[in-house]
Structure formats: structure tokens, C-alpha cells
């Protein structure tokens, strides 16, 4: 490749000078040779990437410089992290080994560069190997958190320059980002970076929606600024009167958070009212604790504006697992708008902005010392370490469970002796029992929650005090897996069931072979063709397991063997399964329902085979993207906004198929589900059916309505031909007297 031009050299020098200035401003250079160390790393990286350019056309060296600057300015890391950032691609891209890095710099820097090199291969994997690689990558988090922080900085810069990448790469990279990197940034306390990663993912994944919301936020910017100013005035006056040293600022919600609320609540932009929040950052008094000052400021604010009790969030008594501390409240502001107020000290704010990296400063450590985090973060790392060492959980399952654990909120519950335990939101008595000890979980039969008897399936809430009740005869069942939220509990249950399953299979095989020996019959394929459908089993192992567990008995065995109709049972079962699949999909697989942009229609047989995704059930009019199943070769068609598609694209980006569109001439019916809520009254069910089937001639597959305390809720499964068709149905339903909400689900 051609060498750099004079303009390139000038650009490189400017970017590096900017990095050095940032290091000096943030106090990164603590020792005499720190600056020389960074300069030497820059020279090594410059030589390693000589002449190489990014897709944008800029010299490649500008990328590691930008990553290093993010580490300094936006995360708050030190000299070793800057050096590792500058060198993070040299081992992979140049003839430089980890041993060379160790010799030129230090073993610790070499270890960080080695970790970053291994991580870079994770997201280039073509199959589920990526999930296994991600598991290995997280081991570096346990060894040195800085490696993951640098990788997040690397991803942030790549996202900021994503416009130069082709569409297929954008889909894969944004899926990885929204699925793993944004949640990981959140869990590590990097809230500003998390928000930017989310916004950039939305910008490149759904550019039209992003641009529309951004434009509307810009249109309302002056009005919101005026509202914030009016809201702030009495608070500023009250805080000054009471001698509080503070700064106050207002912020509008990010584009992604507005879009997310529009999606989840099925609301237009105009109906999103909590668009801004106010943050009060105070300088603590030397004679009063930070916690006391937070509550004092809270009282001053709520004396002015009435608070909403259910929206008080106390993260100073019980900080989040990532170390986040603050007091959040929502109050009624001007013009009847709810406004969130966040109250933090300067230290709390720094931890909120820089996350786990801020602990180096506040624990008075240098980067040479081990990073000591607070107990909550250590507990989270401990749970990750436990999950990583689990021999029973597949890498893909681990990846999904890990991703879910990043964003899920936390609750704080108590043992009978008053010991606090942090669990993820949605945890049940079983999760609590397994969190205490595996033996307690395996023998749990119930609990006393706040001294009241409850089921082991009861979901816990913050403040609950739980006493687990046990029995020697208790044992986990498959049903338990549906009632636990934590990977720790799931792994213990799966381990037990797996061991128990094998024991049941062996016991069942012994019982069956003994019975067959009594009858003088040799087990054969013909025998099992009769037995399996008769006993409701699809495999021999399932039959043995059910027999060994006592679910079935061999009563009537001789009568079954005498029959000559096993094929009839099997044929009926197969046909039923096939019909169910067709009915649930709302179409027959293989019909010509999609086209690709080249005009070639999807076909059964020699052409491309398409199938509707059951997770999101797209219908004509939805923006769709395909996922090519690596086993069957079918293209599973998802809504582009489908969370399952995002998960698949993050792990198997090479199987994503873009450019799929609906055929314009089809007139098929597709299954869609509408949720309803409203005021119950006599005749509302008849009105619903009358509008849907009578006026609109729409076929209803299923109608489920429940009424309680004068309110009804329910779902209607119906067949429509397009989103226009569905929107017309919803519009009609909303006009029925008593209906308050009607919206599409499974999206």
C-alpha cells in the first residue's frame, strides 16, 4: 500500500498531540517516564500499521489513538491502558509477538495486549464458536477489568465510524453492540457510553426512525429548555437559601430511550411525556455524610414539587452492582409533566460517569495495584466466575443468560437473621434458596416471606425477608426451570435433573428388559414402533425415563404388542404436528410469499425456502430481515426489530440475509395477536366479535378475555393479510365503548 501523504502525517501528529494533551489534563502521567512510554508505544504502533488505511480512508493509526483517548477522557484509565490501547492491534496485524511487547514494555502491558488480541478474534467467528470465545473473553474480565474497558472503547470508536462499512457489516456490528457491548457498558457503570452505543446502533439499524425522532427532539428543544429553566428556578433558590454547594443541569432523553419507549408502550412520539430529567450534583459537607445530604436535598425538592411515591429509587442505601449510587425521584413539574430528579455527590457522579474505573481514584490505587471494587461489584464478578466454570451450561446458553443478567435490575432481600442478599429482578424463592446454598435449594418445599407462608415459585421483591422451608423427600422437577431467573439456580437444577434422568433411563431399561424376558420377547425396532406412540414417547430414552420415574407402567403391555396399528398412531401424530406447525405459522411453508431484491421469488424445492419466525410473527408491511438456518438452509424471516434476530445476528452475523421484501401480489392470511385492556361491561365480547368478524370479515383463531375488579384484559389471535389490515382492525377495536388499549404483540 502507498505510504502516507504529508496531509496524513499532519493528521496523525495532530491526533497524537491531542491524546498527549488529554493525558496531561487528566493527570495520567504520574511518573517521569510515563510520557516516554506512551510515545514509544505510538512509534511501535505507527510502524506496525504503516501505510494501512481504514475503510473511511484515514490512516489506520488514527484508530488506536482514538481508542486511547476514549480510555483517558471518557473512562478515566491510566498510562498502562493508554499504552495497551495504542498497541491493541499490533500483534494481530504486524510481525510483533506478545513476547516482543513484554520485552519492549512490561509483562503487564503484554498481558493486556494479549487479552485484547484474543478478544478481537471473538467477533470474527462464523458460528456458535463465537459464544464459546465470548465465555473465554470474560475470563479476562476476571483477570483484569481494564482489558474489557479498552475493548468497549474500541467498539465505541468503531461505532462512531460505522458509516464507512457495508450494510451487512453494519447489521452484524450493531447487533453485537446492542446485544452485548451496550449492556456490558451499563453493567460496568459507563452510562454515557452505554447511551451512545444504543443511539449509534439505532442510527445504523433503523436510520429512518432515528432521524425522525432526532428531528422531533430538535423541534421541541427550545420548549424543553424553557420548561427545564422554569422547573429549576425554585429549586436553585431553595438550595442556595439552605447553603447547599451544587450544580444543576437538565437533559433530554436519548433518541434510543425515546424509541424504545415508543416500541414497548406502542405510543407515538407526542404521547411520550417524560422526555427530560434534572440532575443535582452537590459538593459534600465535611461534617455531614453524603447519604444524609442526598435525603436533605430530596426533602427540599419535594417541598416544592409533589413526588410520585412509586418512583422513588434509593441507590445510596443499596448501590447497584456496578457501584452506581444516587437518589432518584419523580415529581410533578410545570404544565402537569412528570420530571425525574437525580441527586448525587461529586464522587457518586464520577462513579456514574466512569463506572468501575473510578474506583482506582477513590480507593487511592495506582494501576500497578489490584483493582479493588466494592462488595456489590465483587459479588457480580463472583457470579460470572461461577457461571464461567459451569460444566453443564452450553456456551450459547451462557451467552444468552449473561446478556440478560447485564440489564436486569436488582432487588435486595434478607435472610431470617437480617443478612442482605442481592438478586436479579424477577428472582423467586428458589433463586434465593440456591443463592444461599445448593443443598437448601434442592430440598426446598416452601417459604415464609415476611412471616407468611408462600410457594417456592413466589417472586420476591425488595425488602422481603425469607425463611426457606425444606424436606428430605423434596427434589427438583423440570417445572422448577420455569420458575427460576438466575443462572446459578438453573445450573444446579439442570445438574440434578441430568443425573436423575440418566438414573431413570437405566432403571427403566432394566424394568423393560426384565418384563420382556418374562414374556419371551426380544426388543426390536418393530416392537418400539408399537410401544412409543402408545406410551406417548418419541424416543426410546424418553420411554425408559418415564418408565423408570414411574410416570408410566407396563400394565397392558401384551395388549399393545398384539395390536397391529402402531403405524396408525405414528401417522396421526405426525400429521397433527404438521398441521399445528402450519396453523401456528399462519401459512404453509414453501409457498411463494417473499421476494429478494433481485426479483427472484422465494420458492419451495429448487429455489429458496422461507419460513415465518414464530418469535415475532412478521406480516406483510413489516420491515423484515432473514436468518439462514445453517442446518436446514431455510431462511427464517424475522421483523427487523425482533430481539431474537438481534441475538442471532450478534452470534451468527454471516447467516443474516438482507434485501428481503414481501411479494406484492399475494393475498394470504397471517397470524397476528392483539392485546386488549379496558373497562368491563355487559356485551363487550359480542361487540368485539361483531366488529372483527361481522364488519371486517376477519377470521378469529382464538379469543381469551379475563375480567377482574371491573377491568378486562385479553388477547385476540386473528388472521390478517398485512399491517394495513391489522392497523384497521386495531383502529376499529379502539372505537368500541370500554376499550382503553389495543395493540399488536409478539413484536
List the catalytic residue out of 92, 100, 129, 623. 92
Facing residues of 718 across strands? 672, 700
Phi, psi of 275 (to 5 degrees): -85, -15
What is the largest distance, in Å, between two alpha-carbon atoms of the chain?
Answer: 97
Consecutive H or E run containing 716: strand 711-720
CA torsion sign for 422, 423, 429, 433 is negative
DSSP bridge pairs for 250: 278
How far is Cα 547 from Cα 17, in angstroms, rounded to an integer?
75
Burial 658-669 (b: 16+ CB within 10 A, else e): eebebeeebebb
Instruction: Characterize the bridge pairing of strands 338-345 and 276-282.
Output: parallel
Q: Which string of DSSP letters, residue by residue, matches 435-487? A: HH-HHHHHTEEEEEETTEEE-TTPBP-TT-BEEEEE-TT----GGGGGG--SH
Residue closest to 17 by CA, chosen among 67, 54, 69, 60:
69
- Phi and psi (nearest 5°) for 176? -60, -40
3-state secondary structure of 549: coil
Contacts of 305 (CB under 8 A, 6+ apart): 231, 331, 332, 333, 339
83 DSSP assignment:
H
C-alpha cell recorded at residue 502: 440418566
Cell matching residue 578: 404438521
Q: How far is CA 432 from CA 207, 358, 378, 459, 462, in A?
A: 43, 31, 18, 10, 12
Cα Rg of the chain (Å, integer): 30
Enumerate residues 6+ apart whose C-beta is below 8 A from 657. Answer: 596, 625, 626, 627, 628, 635
What pairing do the DSSP bridges indicate for beta strands 635-639 and 610-612? parallel
Q: Is 608 helix (H, G, I), strand (E, B) or coil?
A: coil
CA distances from 129 to 135, 481, 621 (A): 10, 26, 35
- The answer to whether the beta carbons of residues 197 and 156 sit under 8 Å apart is yes
Indicate the DSSP class of residue 428. B
The C-alpha cell at 29 is: 502521567
Catalytic residue flag (residue 93): yes
Rounded CA gap, 203 and 161, in Å? Answer: 12
Q: How many CA atoms lie within 13 A of 485 on its CB side?
A: 20
Contacts of the segment 337-341: beta carbons below 8 A, 24+ positions apart: 337/227, 337/273, 337/274, 338/273, 338/274, 338/308, 338/311, 339/231, 339/274, 339/276, 339/277, 339/278, 339/305, 340/274, 340/277, 340/278, 340/311, 341/277, 341/278, 341/279, 341/280, 341/301
Given the residues 34, 93, 367, 644, select the one marked as catalytic: 93
- Look up residue 510 and give its three cell numbers: 432394566
CA 674 – CA 672 distance, rounded (Å): 7
Question: Does the annotation mark 92 as catalytic?
Answer: yes
Element (H, E) at 410: strand 410-414
Q: Is 683 left (phi over 0), alpha (psi -120 to 50) or beta?
A: left
Q: What is the distance of C-alpha 410 from the center of its chain?
A: 15
| Residues with catalytic function | 92-93
Amino acid at each position: 500500500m502507498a505510504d502516507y501523504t504529508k496531509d496524513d502525517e499532519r493528521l496523525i501528529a495532530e491526533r497524537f498531540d491531542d491524546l498527549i494533551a488529554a493525558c496531561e489534563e487528566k493527570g495520567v502521567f504520574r511518573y517521569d517516564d510515563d510520557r516516554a512510554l506512551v510515545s514509544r508505544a505510538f512509534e511501535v504502533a505507527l510502524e506496525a500499521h504503516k501505510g494501512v488505511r481504514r475503510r473511511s480512508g484515514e490512516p489506520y493509526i488514527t484508530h488506536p489513538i482514538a481508542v486511547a483517548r476514549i480510555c483517558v477522557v471518557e473512562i478515566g484509565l491510566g498510562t498502562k491502558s493508554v499504552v495497551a490501547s495504542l498497541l491493541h492491534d499490533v500483534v494481530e496485524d504486524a510481525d510483533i509477538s506478545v513476547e516482543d511487547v513484554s520485552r519492549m514494555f512490561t509483562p503487564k502491558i503484554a498481558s493486556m495486549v494479549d487479552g485484547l488480541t484474543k478478544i478481537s478474534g471473538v467477533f470474527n467467528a462464523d458460528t456458535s464458536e463465537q459464544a464459546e470465545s465470548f465465555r473465554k473473553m470474560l475470563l479476562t474480565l476476571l483477570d483484569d477489568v481494564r482489558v474489557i474497558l479498552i475493548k468497549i472503547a474500541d467498539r465505541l470508536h468503531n461505532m462512531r465510524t460505522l458509516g464507512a462499512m457495508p450494510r451487512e457489516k453494519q447489521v452484524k456490528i450493531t447487533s453485537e453492540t446492542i446485544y452485548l457491548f451496550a449492556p456490558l457498558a451499563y453493567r460496568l457503570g459507563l452510562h454515557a457510553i452505554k447511551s451512545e452505543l444504543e443511539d449509534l446502533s439505532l442510527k445504523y439499524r433503523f436510520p429512518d426512525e432515528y432521524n425522525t425522532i432526532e428531528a422531533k427532539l430538535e423541534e421541541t428543544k427550545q420548549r424543553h429548555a424553557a420548561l427545564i429553566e422554569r422547573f429549576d428556578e425554585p429549586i436553585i433558590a431553595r438550595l442556595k437559601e439552605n447553603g447547599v454547594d451544587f450544580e444543576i443541569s437538565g437533559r433530554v432523553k436519548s433518541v434510543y430511550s425515546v424509541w424504545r419507549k415508543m416500541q414497548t408502550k406502542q405510543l407515538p412520539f407526542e404521547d411520550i411525556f417524560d422526555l427530560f430529567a434534572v440532575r443535582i450534583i452537590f459538593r459534600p459537607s465535611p461534617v455531614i455524610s453524603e447519604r444524609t445530604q442526598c435525603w436533605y436535598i430530596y426533602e427540599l425538592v419535594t417541598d416544592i414539587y409533589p413526588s410520585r411515591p412509586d418512583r422513588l429509587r434509593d441507590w445510596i442505601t443499596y448501590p447497584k452492582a456496578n457501584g452506581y449510587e444516587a437518589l432518584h425521584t419523580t415529581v410533578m413539574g410545570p404544565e402537569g409533566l412528570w420530571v425525574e430528579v437525580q441527586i448525587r455527590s461529586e464522587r457518586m457522579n464520577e462513579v456514574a460517569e466512569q463506572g468501575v474505573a473510578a474506583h482506582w481514584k477513590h480507593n487511592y490505587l495506582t494501576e500497578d495495584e489490584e483493582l479493588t471494587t466494592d462488595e456489590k461489584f465483587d459479588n457480580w464478578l463472583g457470579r460470572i466466575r461461577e457461571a464461567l466454570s459451569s460444566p453443564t451450561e452450553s456456551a450459547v446458553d451462557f451467552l444468552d443468560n449473561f446478556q440478560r443478567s447485564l440489564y436486569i435490575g436488582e432487588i435486595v432481600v434478607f435472610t431470617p437473621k437480617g443478612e442482605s442478599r442481592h438478586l436479579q429482578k424477577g428472582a423467586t424463592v428458589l433463586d434465593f434458596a440456591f443463592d444461599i446454598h445448593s443443598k437448601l435449594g434442592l430440598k426446598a418445599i416452601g417459604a415464609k416471606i415476611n412471616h407468611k407462608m408462600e410457594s417456592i415459585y413466589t417472586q420476591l421483591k425488595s425488602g422481603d425477608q425469607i425463611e426457606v422451608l425444606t424436606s428430605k423427600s423434596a427434589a427438583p422437577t423440570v417445572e422448577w426451570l420455569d420458575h427460576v431467573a438466575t443462572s446459578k439456580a438453573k445450573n444446579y437444577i439442570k445438574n440434578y435433573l441430568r443425573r436423575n434422568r440418566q438414573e431413570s433411563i437405566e432403571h427403566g431399561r432394566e424394568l423393560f428388559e426384565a418384563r420382556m424376558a418374562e414374556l419371551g420377547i426380544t426388543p426390536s425396532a418393530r416392537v418400539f414402533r408399537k410401544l412409543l406412540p402408545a406410551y406417548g414417547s418419541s424416543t426410546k430414552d424418553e420411554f425408559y425415563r418415564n418408565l423408570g420415574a414411574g410416570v408410566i407402567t407396563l400394565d397392558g403391555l401384551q395388549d399393545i404388542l398384539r395390536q397391529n396399528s402402531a403405524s396408525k398412531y405414528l401417522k396421526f401424530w405426525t400429521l397433527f404436528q404438521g398441521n399445528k406447525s402450519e396453523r401456528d405459522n399462519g401459512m404453509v411453508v414453501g409457498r411463494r410469499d417473499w421476494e429478494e431484491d433481485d426479483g427472484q421469488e422465494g420458492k419451495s424445492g429448487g429455489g429458496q425456502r422461507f419460513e415465518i419466525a414464530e418469535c415475532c410473527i412478521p406480516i406483510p408491511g413489516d420491515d423484515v430481515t432473514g436468518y439462514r438456518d445453517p442446518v436446514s438452509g431455510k431462511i427464517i424471516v424475522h421483523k427487523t426489530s425482533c430481539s431474537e434476530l438481534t441475538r442471532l445476528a450478534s452470534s451468527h452475523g454471516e447467516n443474516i440475509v438482507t434485501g428481503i421484501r414481501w411479494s406484492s401480489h399475494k393475498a394470504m392470511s397471517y397470524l397476528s395477536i392483539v392485546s386488549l385492556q379496558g373497562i368491563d361491561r355487559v356485551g363487550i365480547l359480542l361487540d368485539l366479535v361483531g366488529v372483527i368478524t361481522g364488519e371486517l370479515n376477519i377470521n378469529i383463531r382464538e379469543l381469551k378475555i379475563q375480567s377482574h375488579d371491573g377491568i378486562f384484559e385479553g388477547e385476540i389471535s386473528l388472521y390478517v393479510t398485512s399491517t394495513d389490515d391489522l392497523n384497521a382492525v386495531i383502529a376499529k377495536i379502539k372505537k368500541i365503548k370500554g376499550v382503553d388499549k389495543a395493540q399488536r404483540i409478539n413484536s
